[in-house]
Amino acid sequence: MEQALMVLGSAIGAGIAVCSGIGSGIGQGYAAGKGAEAVGNQPEAKGDIISTMLLGAAVAESTGIYGLVISIILLFANPWV
Amino acid sequence: MEQALMVLGSAIGAGIAVCSGIGSGIGQGYAAGKGAEAVGNQPEAKGDIISTMLLGAAVAESTGIYGLVISIILLFANPWV
Amino acid sequence: MEQALMVLGSAIGAGIAVCSGIGSGIGQGYAAGKGAEAVGNQPEAKGDIISTMLLGAAVAESTGIYGLVISIILLFANPWV
Amino acid sequence: MEQALMVLGSAIGAGIAVCSGIGSGIGQGYAAGKGAEAVGNQPEAKGDIISTMLLGAAVAESTGIYGLVISIILLFANPWV
Amino acid sequence: MEQALMVLGSAIGAGIAVCSGIGSGIGQGYAAGKGAEAVGNQPEAKGDIISTMLLGAAVAESTGIYGLVISIILLFANPWV
Amino acid sequence: MEQALMVLGSAIGAGIAVCSGIGSGIGQGYAAGKGAEAVGNQPEAKGDIISTMLLGAAVAESTGIYGLVISIILLFANPWV
Amino acid sequence: MEQALMVLGSAIGAGIAVCSGIGSGIGQGYAAGKGAEAVGNQPEAKGDIISTMLLGAAVAESTGIYGLVISIILLFANPWV
Amino acid sequence: MEQALMVLGSAIGAGIAVCSGIGSGIGQGYAAGKGAEAVGNQPEAKGDIISTMLLGAAVAESTGIYGLVISIILLFANPWV
Amino acid sequence: MEQALMVLGSAIGAGIAVCSGIGSGIGQGYAAGKGAEAVGNQPEAKGDIISTMLLGAAVAESTGIYGLVISIILLFANPWV
Amino acid sequence: MEQALMVLGSAIGAGIAVCSGIGSGIGQGYAAGKGAEAVGNQPEAKGDIISTMLLGAAVAESTGIYGLVISIILLFANPWV
Amino acid sequence: MEQALMVLGSAIGAGIAVCSGIGSGIGQGYAAGKGAEAVGNQPEAKGDIISTMLLGAAVAESTGIYGLVISIILLFANPWV
Amino acid sequence: MEQALMVLGSAIGAGIAVCSGIGSGIGQGYAAGKGAEAVGNQPEAKGDIISTMLLGAAVAESTGIYGLVISIILLFANPWV
Amino acid sequence: MEQALMVLGSAIGAGIAVCSGIGSGIGQGYAAGKGAEAVGNQPEAKGDIISTMLLGAAVAESTGIYGLVISIILLFANPWV
Amino acid sequence: MEQALMVLGSAIGAGIAVCSGIGSGIGQGYAAGKGAEAVGNQPEAKGDIISTMLLGAAVAESTGIYGLVISIILLFANPWV
């Protein structure tokens, strides 16, 4: 029974943790839309716009990755189960 | 009983995890709308706009994929059940 | 009893998982509205606008499909029940 | 008792699953409003606007259908009950 | 007791399922408002605007109908109770 | 006890079901406001605006009625209790 | 005990049901605000604006009334208690 | 015990029911703000604006009153307790 | 025990009921802000603006008062405890 | 045990009740911001703007006070505990 | 056990109560932003803007303080524990 | 057991209490953004803008501090545990 | 068992507490976006804009840090466990 | 059993904690979009815009990192389990 409760908690916790990526998804999609709009207005600045957008999105990605890391740890490097 | 509780937790956890794609869906749809609008204004920059939009959307896709990965792991590579 | 709890968890988990399509639905509908608006303004660019819109919507579709896949797996390829 | 719990879970799961159509409903309604507005501004482009709007809405419909499919499966093709 | 739990689950599930119409209601009302506004600006295009609006609203109606169908099935064609 | 649980579930389910009208209420109110605004700008198009608004609102009403129907069925045509 | 559970369910269900009026309240208030604004701009069209606003608000009222009806039925015409 | 559960359900149900006034409160406040703004722009149309605003707000009040009525019934005309 | 459950239900119900004032608070604050803005633009119409704003806010107050009334009844005129 | 349950219910109920001030806080802050903006544009109308803003905010304060009153009653004038 | 339940309820109730400050925080921050913007546009009216902003924010602070007061009472002047 | 329940309640209550800072965080960030924008437009008014912004933010900070205070009290000055 | 319940409460409380940073994250990101926009418009005022933005963000950071502090206390300086 | 409850609480707490990154994700994505837009308008200020954006995003990152830190502590430096 102990083992079962630990696993139940870890599995649900892993599911919640990876949902920290919801914010990243919304934010990066906003960045993508703004980037496409900007490229449409200044196609000659495409390189600069894309590199800026990707740099910003890469930073926003970080919290999504944190959630993934915690999920993976809960699943495979779980210090208890 | 132990087995049942573990499975119950893993199944619900998998359902929650894949919902991390909600953010990606909203964001990418926003990007698609902005892209279509931009193409309508500058059809001659279509290639640049689409490649920018897809690049941004690909980054936003990542957190949705994280959720999928955690779900798949909980279902098939579940280290406990 | 064990079998029942597993099925209960899997069924509810499948229901939650497919709801990851809510984000896709909102986003794609936004894209459709922006596309229709853009076509109304530049009917001559209809082909370019539609192809851009569909390309963006196809990417946004992905997270909805992830949810469907997890649901189907929980129902038919359920590794436990 | 086992049978009852399975049915309870499946029925509630089916109810949750079909709610994935909320996003589609909002999105398609937005598309319909934007389409009507565009037609009002350019009645001569009515055909193009409607076909674009319907194409986009058809893609957005998909995630609503996914939810219906999972509900139907849970009700009639339920692999367990 | 078994019968009671099944009925309880089915009744609540039916109530949740029909709520998938919330999205349709918001969306179609938005469409109606935009349509009325457009008709006010171009009364001569009334026919085109209404037909576009109704076409879009009909598509948005679909997910509301899905929810009704699942509710009806849970109530009258319930495969278990 | 069985009877009581069935009734409890049906009563709460009926309450949830009729709440599917929230979306319709918001949407139709939006339509009414836009209609009043449009009439204020073009009083001579009052008939056209009202008929468009009512047509759109009638479609949006549908999902509210679905919720009412399910509630009534749960109360009076309840196939189980 | 049976009687008590039925009453508890019916009372809470009635409370939830009448909350379907939240949407109507928001929507009608929006209509009232837009109507007042429109009257301020075209006082000479006051009659037309008010009749349009009231017509739209009357339709939006319907879903609020549905909730009231279900509540009243649960309280006084409750088929079970 | 039976009596206690009935009272508990009725009291909480009454609390939920009167919250249907949240929508009315938001909507009427919006109407008040728009009315004040309109009066500021056309002080000479003050009478018309206020009567329109109050007419609209009176309709929006209705769903708040429904909630009050259900609460009062649950408290004093409760058919069961 | 019976007495305790009744009191617990009534106390929590009273807390929920008075929260129906959230909507009024938001709405009246919006009205206050719009009123201050309008006075800033037309200081000579201060009397008219304030009377309109207060009239509208008084109507919006009503649903907040309903919640207070139900709370007071649950506390002091509680027909059961 | 009876005493304990009553106190638990009253304490949580008091906490919920005072949260009815959330709406007032948002609304009054909106009013403060609009007031500061208006004073910035017409410093000579500062007195009129502030008195209007404070009058409106005082009305909005009322529902926050209702919540405080119910909390205080639950704590010190609690008719049961 | 009685003592423990009372403390548990009071502690959680205190936590909920102080959250009534969320509304004040959002509202005052909005006021601060608008004030800074207004000062930037009319630096010579800085004194008037700040005093207006602080006056409005002080009123909005009140509901946050109500929450603090109830929390403090629940912790130190708790009439029961 | 008594001790444990008290601690459980206090710990969760402390966690909820400090979340009253969410509102402050959003509001102050809004103020910071508006301040930066205003400085960009009038760099010569930097001092005035910053002092206004900080003054407003300091007021908004208060409700966040209330939450911290209640948390600290629950942890270290807990009058019961 | 006592020890276990205390730890369970503290761990979940710590998780909730650190979430008070959600508000800070949204707010600071808004500030960052506004700052970048302002720098793009007035690159010569970069120093002033950045220092204003960072000053405001530092204040907004405070509530996030409060949450961290409470979490750390619950984990390492927990006065009970 | 004690060990199991502690682990269950810690795992779920870790999942909740890392979700404090949702705010950071949304905010940073907003910053990225604004940055890309600004670069599109002033490509020659790219360096200044990016450094401002990254500076702001780095501050916003902090609360996301706090959540990660608490999660890691709950998993590996858990002082109890």
* Average predicted confidence (pLDDT) for chain H: 87
Residue D59 at interface with chain E, using a CB cutoff of 8 Å: no
G1: pLDDT confidence band, cut at 50, 70 and 90?
Answer: low
M81: pLDDT confidence band, cut at 50, 70 and 90?
Answer: low
Structural tokens at position B49: 């706009």
The pLDDT of G31-47, averaged and rounded, is 88
Sign of CA dihedral G35, G36, G37, G38: positive
Residue E10 at interface with chain D, using a CB cutoff of 8 Å: yes
Position K81 in a domain? no
* Average predicted confidence (pLDDT) for chain C: 87
B30: pLDDT confidence band, cut at 50, 70 and 90?
Answer: very high
> Across the interface, do M14 and N70 touch by the CB < 8 Å criterion?
yes
What pLDDT sits at residue B1?
65
CB neighbour class for J67 (10 Å; exposed up to 12, middle 13-18, buried from 19): buried
What pLDDT sits at residue F30?
92
Instruction: Indicate which of H37, H51, H70 best probes the interface with I, i.e. most I CBs within 10 Å of its own CB.
Output: H37
Position G81 in a domain? no
M6: pLDDT confidence band, cut at 50, 70 and 90?
Answer: confident
Nearest to E27 by CA among D30, C34, F21, C36: D30
This model of the complex carries an ipTM of 0.82
Of J1, J20, J34, the CB nearest to I36: J34
Residue E43 at interface with chain F, using a CB cutoff of 8 Å: yes
Of J10, J67, J69, the CB nearest to I11: J10
Of H5, H15, H24, the CB nearest to I13: H15
The pLDDT of M55-74, averaged and rounded, is 89
The pLDDT of F20-47, averaged and rounded, is 89
Give yes or no for residue G42 having a pLDDT over 70.
yes
Give yes or no for residue H79 having a pLDDT over 80.
no
What pLDDT sits at residue H1?
66
Q: Tell me: the pLDDT tens digits for J13-58? A: 888 888 888 888 899 999 999 998 888 888 888 888 988 899 888 8
Query: Based on the structure, what is the number of domains in chain E?
Result: 1
Sign of CA dihedral D74, D78, E1, E7: positive
Position L81 in a domain? no
> Across the interface, do K57 and J22 touch by the CB < 8 Å criterion?
no
Q: F69: which residues sit within 8 A by CB, 6+ positions away?
A: E68
Distance, C-alpha L75 to centroid of its chain:
18
* Residues of chain J found within 8 Å of residue I43, distances taken between Cβ atoms: 42, 45, 48
* Residues of chain G found within 8 Å of residue H9, distances taken between Cβ atoms: 7-12
What pLDDT sits at residue I12?
87
Nearest to H41 by CA among J31, G49, G41, J37: G41
Secondary-structure breakdown of chain C: helix, strand, coil percentages, each rounded to the nearest 5: 90, 0, 10
Of L13, L53, L64, the CB nearest to K15: L13
What pLDDT sits at residue G30?
92
> Across the interface, do C29 and D33 touch by the CB < 8 Å criterion?
no
What pLDDT sits at residue H30?
92
Structural tokens at position A71: 């999920």
> Across the interface, do J64 and I25 touch by the CB < 8 Å criterion?
yes
- Min CA distance, D59 vs chain E (Å)? 11
> Higher confidence at residue A57 or residue C4?
A57
| Residue L64: domain span | 2-76
Residue K55 at interface with chain L, using a CB cutoff of 8 Å: no
What pLDDT sits at residue I81?
66
Position B76 in a domain? yes
Residue N20 at interface with chain M, using a CB cutoff of 8 Å: yes
Q: Tell me: the pLDDT tens digits for E21-58? A: 888 889 999 999 999 888 888 888 888 898 889 988 88
What is the Rg, in whole angstroms, of the alpha carbon atoms belonging to chain I? 19
C77: pLDDT confidence band, cut at 50, 70 and 90?
Answer: confident
The pLDDT of L30-54, averaged and rounded, is 89
> Across the interface, do L1 and K4 touch by the CB < 8 Å criterion?
yes
Structural tokens at position M20: 């008070």
The pLDDT of N57-78, averaged and rounded, is 88
pTM for the whole structure: 0.83
CATH number (domain holding residue K11) = 1.20.20.10
Return the residue matching tokens 């009191």: I7
What pLDDT sits at residue D1?
65
Q: Tell me: the pLDDT tens digits for I9-64? A: 888 888 888 888 888 889 999 999 999 888 888 888 888 898 889 988 888 888 88
Q: Tell me: the pLDDT tens digits for C56-73? A: 888 888 888 999 999 888
Instruction: Indicate which of D1, D3, D5, D8 best probes the interface with E, i.e. most E CBs within 10 Å of its own CB.
Output: D8
CA distances in angstroms from H68 to G16, H14, I63, listed in the order given: 13, 8, 8
Under 8 Å between Cβ of G41 and F44: no
> Higher confidence at residue H26 or residue M1?
H26
Position G10 in a domain? yes
- The one-character DSSP state at D19 is T
The pLDDT of H10-27, averaged and rounded, is 88
Q: Tell me: the pLDDT tens digits for K29-55? A: 999 999 988 888 888 888 889 888 998
Return the residue matching tokens 């009740």: J17
Give dist(CA I21, CA H26) in Å, integer: 10
Phi, psi of N79 (to 5 degrees): -70, -5
Give yes or no for residue N79 having a pLDDT over 80.
no
Percent of chain C with pLDDT over 90: 9
> Across the interface, do I8 and J6 touch by the CB < 8 Å criterion?
yes
Position K31 in a domain? yes
A1: pLDDT confidence band, cut at 50, 70 and 90?
Answer: low
Structural tokens at position L38: 């205003």
What pLDDT sits at residue F1?
65
Position M9 in a domain? yes
Position A5 in a domain? no
Under 8 Å between Cβ of N2 and M3: yes
Beta carbon pairs, M and N, within 8 Å: 211
A21: pLDDT confidence band, cut at 50, 70 and 90?
Answer: confident
Q: How many Cα atoms sit within 13 Å of B19 on the Cβ side?
A: 22
Give dist(CA A5, CA K20) in Å, integer: 35
